[in-house]
Structure 1
Amino acid sequence: MPGNLQSFLKQLSDDIEKQTLIKITLGNRRIKSSDLKNVFIKPVLIKNIPKLSFVYRYPTKDITSNFPAKESIFLIEKLLQDEFYNADIFTTENDFHFAFQKNNTAKIVSKGPSLKSTANALQHDKEKIRIIQATNAGYLKELGITTAEGIVKKEKQDKYKQINSYVEIIDGIIKDLQFNESLQVVDMGSGKGYLTFALYDYLVNKLHRDAAVTGIELREELVTKCNNIARAAGYNQLVFKSGTIENAVLSNTDILIALHACDTATDEAIFSGIKVNAKIIICAPCCHKQIRKQMAPENELKSITKHGILLERQAEITTDAIRALLLEAHGYKTRVFEFIATEHTPKNVLIVGVKQDKPLHPTQFFLEKVAGLKLLFGIQSHYLETLIDRL
């Protein structure tokens, strides 16, 4: 096996050096439950520097990263050892198929080229076609994202990417779901309104849905500003209201969203969604303080939680794991995944719950898992659990 794998990597290295490589595809997952479905790789030029562009394909998004050739070879080797059984190299001279066999040996099959190189194959520095296009969204100018000419400001590139990644995720969540004729959406803690405006734009102008979107925000000045921008844009069913997540009164809500609600405000938002039986609950938590203060395991985990940074990260994971389980307990099929790459925002975990007509497991099944996690980490109570118990 190592010889064949190294021969494959040597062939790949030679093709990169000769500039005959067109693309690489990694597939056939080793772990079938893994969210990483494929990796697609191609040579690109970034500021006239040759690199390989890796596209990591997940169920609801693609993540793209670019690496120098030497680092790329190492990453491909690692992916074939840990994630995938198969790889295909397409070059201008030959195609090469690499596959690990059931007996843990590997083989390489070569055949004539099936693809043709194009003159602009290495051109990479071009604008990606995005759902929310800067030139067609006047509200982005009013929100400070673009110039008067509809060009994204240099310092707002990350925010623009975040907006589009958010809309792409929403698209993946709702595209196969059935809603009533009029869609009711509440965005709790809408802040400066970037994502709220983009969501309304997407639902009404891209999907052509009859949608009413309400943004709830504590700061009066932001509420006033966003309402003025919405009216100027002709977004008649986009409304911003002053209030807190805790005290918001909801009814007839199809989609409830709370992005970057601090600490237990995320629990308040999830609880509000459960109370009104929202079809979809979407949260991006931050500032996981409530559980962190309680965690005091009396087992081997004490070695982890004695370090401040590790305690903080473990508290985040445990807090969100319990949130996901409690959503499952109340009939929501739940996923937790990356919202956007960490170079764009450190607050990048998204919890998504979709209400099921017939849950796969009874409530008690998930509540026992919650109890087990609390016991393992020495946790007395989770705030979301406390809210639900009051109900």
Structure 2
Amino acid sequence: MDNYAAFFDKIRTSIQQQEFIKISLGDYNGTELYLKNVYIKPVIIKREKKLSFVFRYKTQDITKNFELQTGIMEIQGLLKVEGFRVATLFTETENLICQCTKKGVWSLKKENPTAKKPVVFTHDKQKERKLDSADKVYLQALKLTDATGNVYKNAQDKWRQINHYIEILSSILQRLSAKDTLNVVDMGAGKGYLTFALYDYLVYTLRKRVSLVGVEYRKDLVELCNQIAAKSDFKDLLFIQGAIEDYEPHDDLDILIALHACDTATDDAIAKGIKHDADLIVVAPCCHKQIRREIEKNKTKNELDFLLKHGIFMERQAEMVTDGIRALIMEYFGYQTKVFQFVSDAHTPKNVLVVGEKKSINIRRQEEILAKIASTKAYFGITYHHLERLMELDKTIL
């Protein structure tokens, strides 16, 4: 057995015998910009042992978790393909260093153990939840919990998403000005998971008086959600059928929500929030097709065109440009914006949550924003942004 194979045999043995502590990869000679090291350790996620990889770059760390066998294959790829030339395995009994010489030969060196095994490996943190699951009729009706409030195993991801959503918004919601009644609209409410949770938190945790409308295009979901609201005795929660672009609130809004509204439907929702003077606008955009089509159609030459020839990079760039301009337009109208990563459920990719909190309009800042939007459009070959047209900024930006 050669040294390289012996090293990986030792990794598998140390894992089986529960002596494995961690692995570090160094002396990187690959092509990925700013990558310096990779650190691997065992973790337990949802009662299953996995390998957690921390990819250390010059300015950030990126964590990825793999099944054990997949993780070992990933290490092999990082050494043989990606360009790491030193790997150190830390176990309870020894340190084992596997190093590639200038001639491409792998050597092994043993040293005395230097790492101590942690007491626990779990990543499953027991967090204090903003919502509890006990005695919630809507959670039972949506098949997230049983009658005693225990979350079903197949609903854990959705329950985690719901709590992450409320956790992100909690501090902002508590800052909202005191009013007799908060007018809230949730555009594209779907099956109502997050709509019900928001109503629950506002009314029963923050003790606010709320009038919440969920707008949903699918009639069957509207009927289902209204039945669940009635069973839950959520008297001021109403679901209505309609499209986002067609819905017109009767009064000014305090909170506008639009999660996973596809493509320009997110722009329709933001525009309604701005025009109805919403204190808080929260959107989780998806399917950024409009700007992607603009970039692909015009194929403007710039410093990033080497990236944009790849479909997946084009998709990511279109997402960032679309949402970046959305945030700028919200700032133009006096909103302070923040962007968060929104935890996915099992069926929805991770995406961002764009939150705009109404502050005040700054004329000088408006001029800067118009100039930034204009230069961004020119750089990427964008003729228009849908939200820009809805707010008639295309007539202002020359």
Q: TM-score, normalised by structure 1?
A: 0.68
Q: Distance in 2 between matches of 1:375 and 1:133?
A: 49
- Where structure 1 has 5 or more consecutive residues not aligned to the other structure, the ranges are 1-16, 20-41, 55-62, 75-119
Partner of 2:310: 307
Q: Deviations over 1:315-366 (max 9, x none)?
A: 1111111101111111111112211268774142111111113548432221
Q: Deviations over 1:192-249 (max 9, x none)?
A: 0000000000000111111111100111111111111111111101111111100111
1:179-194 equivalences in 2 (<5 Å): 179-194=178-193
Q: Distance in 1 between matches of 2:380 and 2:212?
A: 39
8 Å contact kept, 2:137–2:231: no
Q: Does 1:298 align with 2:297?
A: no
Change (3 A) 1:18 1:193: closer
Partner of 1:223: 222
8 Å contact kept, 2:288–2:322: yes
Q: Secondary structure at the match of 2:336?
A: strand
Task: Quote the offset at 1:277 in angstroms.
Answer: 0.8
Instruction: Tell which structure's C-alpha radius of gyration is larger.
Output: 2
8 Å contact kept, 1:138–1:233: yes
Task: Quote the offset at 1:137 in angstroms.
Answer: 1.6
Task: Quote the offset at 1:285 in angstroms.
Answer: 0.4
Q: Does 1:346 align with 2:319?
A: no
Change (3 A) 1:232 1:312: same
Q: Secondary structure at the match of 2:260?
A: strand
- Where structure 2 has 5 or more consecutive residues not aligned to the other structure, the ranges are 1-18, 22-40, 55-61, 76-118
8 Å contact kept, 2:260–2:285: yes
Change (3 A) 1:274 1:51: same
Partner of 2:85: none
Change (3 A) 1:340 1:18: closer
Q: Distance in 1 between matches of 2:366 and 2:123?
A: 50
8 Å contact kept, 2:326–2:387: yes
8 Å contact kept, 2:135–2:148: no
Q: Does 1:207 align with 2:168?
A: no
- The answer to which of 355-364 and 131-140 deviates more is 355-364
Question: Percent same amino acid among aligned pairs?
Answer: 48
1:238-277 equivalences in 2 (<5 Å): 238-250=237-249, 251-277=251-277
Partner of 1:196: 195
Partner of 1:280: 280
Q: Distance in 2 between matches of 1:297 and 1:364?
A: 28
Q: Does 1:362 align with 2:365?
A: yes
Task: Quote the offset at 1:173 in angstroms.
Answer: 2.2
Task: Output the aligned Cα RMSD.
Answer: 3.4
Q: Deviations over 1:239-269 (max 9, x none)?
A: 1111110011112210000000000000000
Q: TM-score, normalised by structure 2?
A: 0.67
Q: Distance in 1 between matches of 2:63 and 2:210?
A: 32
Partner of 1:316: 319
Task: Quote the offset at 1:374 in angstroms.
Answer: 0.3
